[in-house]
Amino acid sequence: MLSAKRNSVAKRYSILRLVALLAAGVLCAGCQGAHREAREGRAGPQPASGRGPNLVICVIDAARADHVGCCGYPRETTPNIARLAEEGLVFRNHHCQYPATRMSTACLFTSQFVDTHLMGGMWKQAEPSFTMPVGLKAAGFQTALFSSNILASPEVGVGCAFDEAYYGDELAPGGSSIHRRPEALLGKFEEWLAERSGSRFFAYLHFLPPHAPYVQPDEMTELFAGDTPPGYRREKYGHGKWEFPAQYYVPKRDPPALPGWINLYDANLRWGDWAVGEVERLLRGAGVFENTLFIVTADHGEAFGEHGYVWHSWGIYDDVTRIPLVMRLPGGSGEPRSFDALTQTIDLLPTVYDLFGISYPADEIQGRSLLPLLEGLTEQINDYTFIRSNQPPKYMVRGERYSLVLFENPEWRGLYDLRNDPEQRVNILAEEPERAAELFAAFETYARAQRQPPHEFLGEGVETRPRAEREKIELTPQLERELRALGYLD
């Protein structure tokens, strides 16, 4: 007991010391002044500061947490992420706010729910004035976005505030599929990194694997081919599909047959993990890895037919919402630490800013800093997280113990006890209506606070705030080609 307590105190001291070190590198008077000026609208171009740690965020597209080793998957899909986790912080109950690339990436950059940032459809919505790169730029960071998925790029209105953005033909010209491979992104990042000597930087790297199509190197395909995926049970997939057909959007492209689909996905995830390992190698080669806050996460998961949904974008259960989050603090944390507290994509922005000691406009963001969790001051940050998807509109109110899935049609709604039913298969709404009412009350509070509250779930008399300017997205040849390759057009 005594040693456990001493251990806990040591961990807390370790985090506090690291936070203090991070802040010491950032909280120079010039940076604070620059940020204050940025918030007051007076900031001009700021000189890049060589002091303090860098920030690198790697996103592996469509990685579901329960297929990642440090989140409990027994297969060796993610050895590089596992190694980072050995020296880092693992968040085991982390969720996106929308299970599709564009909306979710917008949540990460804005720290706003989808019903507030309003990114979606064929409209290019103006980003809020404050996004992830904005305050970092004002504090002296050079910022760049690299994306193998055009749906996470300024082409569709996401990440417009970065100093530089590389995606599509910028990664590998010629319209071939090469630019979607991690090697193209890594090559551009390596070039960019070579020019950053002495400058602080924030690099956002969005890798396509494990998003379909699964075209990883053969040796990775062969890793799991022919095996039975861990925990595979045929009855787990396709559950519920024919009970309420109207609640399902049926995608035009068929997925591969099970269980081979899961083997292909796992092989492709291994490729995404390889890319993360290469980023680490490049940073180490440049001598900056130990001075970098290194974050690995995903934009959403992937459904293999659980609850009747396949792919992502349309589902609403944990298979598409629960994603990995691993953070390695500069210099490493000394020992692995994992957290079971409920965390979400929009929490990243305030957490990063708090770790760096940079202020942010708290009234413009909706996420919560995870710093009190890291410091051991609390064991819980969020009572619930709220996730939306469309076709038709639906929400999940996700608590630590229970989840409530909401459709406009009350007959399709479901309440699940995650402790006894982690796969969310047994609807207990009829048995526990008071519990469902409790979660719905939390949803109402959330929904009424959004810029465009979902009236169809709330009824009349709810205030809607005006939306920012938006313009129709132009379907350029490049965008059309990319959407077709990713399976979003016929």
Query: In the bound complex, what is the minimum distance in angstroms from residue 101's beta carbon to Zn ion?
Result: 3
> How many Cα atoms within 13 Å fall on the side-chain side of residue 414?
20
Residue 273 as a binder of Zn ion (CB under 5 A): the answer is no
How many Å apart are CA 182 and CA 171, to the nearest integer? 10
What is the spatial distance between Cα 368 and Cα 308, in angstroms, rounded to a whole number? 33
* ω into 210 cis (within 30 of 0): yes
For residue 402, give the H/E element and its range: strand 402-407
- Count residues binding Zn ion (CB under 5 A): 3
Contact (CB, 8 A) for 110 and 360? no
Out of 66, 115, 299, 306, name the contact with Zn ion by CB under 5 A. Answer: 299
In angstroms, give the least distance from the CB of 273 to Zn ion: 16
Is residue 98 within 8 A of residue 104, CB to CB? The reply is: yes
How distant, in Å, are the alpha carbons of 49, 188, 307, 407 from that of 167? 27, 10, 34, 36
Among 39, 61, 108, 273, binds Zn ion (CB under 5 A): 61
101 binds Zn ion (CB under 5 A): yes
Does 263 contact Zn ion by CB under 5 A? no
Q: How far is the CB of 284 from Zn ion (least distance, A)?
A: 28
Options 8-16, 264-272, 293-301, 387-395: segment touching Zn ion (CB under 5 A) = 293-301
Burial code of 394-423, b = ≥16 C-beta within 10 A, e = fewer?
bbbbbbbebbbbbbeeeebbbbbbbeeeeb
State how far the Cα of 206 lies from the Cα of 214, in Å rounded to an integer. 16
Least distance between Zn ion and beta carbon 64 (Å)? 11
Which of 317/446 has CB closer to Zn ion?
317
Q: What is the smallest separation between the CB atom of 89 and Zn ion, expressed in angstroms?
A: 23
Q: Name the residue nearer to Zn ion (CB basis): 130 or 317.
A: 317
Q: In angstroms, give the least distance from the CB of 298 to Zn ion.
A: 8
Stretch that binds Zn ion, among 2-10, 55-63, 262-270, 438-446 (CB under 5 A): 55-63
Write out the H or E segment, with its range, that includes residue 20: helix 2-26
Cβ-based nearer residue to Zn ion, 280 or 299: 299
Nearer to Zn ion, 167 or 407 (CB): 167
**Cβ closest to Zn ion, residue 29 vs residue 122:** 122
- Point out the residue whose Cβ comes nearest to Zn ion: 101
* 5 to 44: interface string for Zn ion, x by CB under 5 A: ----------------------------------------
With 0-12 / 13-18 / 19 or more C-beta atoms within 10 angstroms meaning exposed / middle / buried, residue 45 is: exposed
CB of 206 to Zn ion, least distance (A): 8
Near Zn ion by CB under 5 A, which window of 49-57, 59-67, 76-84, 213-221? 59-67
Which lies closer to Zn ion via its Cβ, residue 135 or residue 159? Answer: 159
Closest to 80 (Cα-Cα) out of 218, 269, 212: 269
Stretch of 195-203, 242-250, 294-302, 343-351 contacting Zn ion, by CB under 5 A: 294-302
Q: What is the CA radius of gyration of the chain?
A: 22
Closer by beta carbon to Zn ion, 324 or else 357: 324
Query: Residue 141 is encoded by which pair of tokens?
Result: 């960071």
Q: Which is nearer to Zn ion, 101 or 345 (CB)?
A: 101
Between 43 and 215, name the residue whose CB sits nearer to Zn ion.
215
Between 280 and 302, CB nearer to Zn ion? 302
Q: What single-letter amino acid sits at 430?
A: A
Matching residue, tokens 């076709």: 391
Helix (H, G, I), strand (E, B) or coil at 174: coil
Mark residue 186 as left, alpha or beta (left: phi above 0; alpha: psi -120 to 50; beta: remaining).
alpha
* Contact yes or no for 329/89 (Cβ under 8 A): yes
Judged by the rule CB under 5 A, the positions of this chain that interact with Zn ion are 61, 101, 299
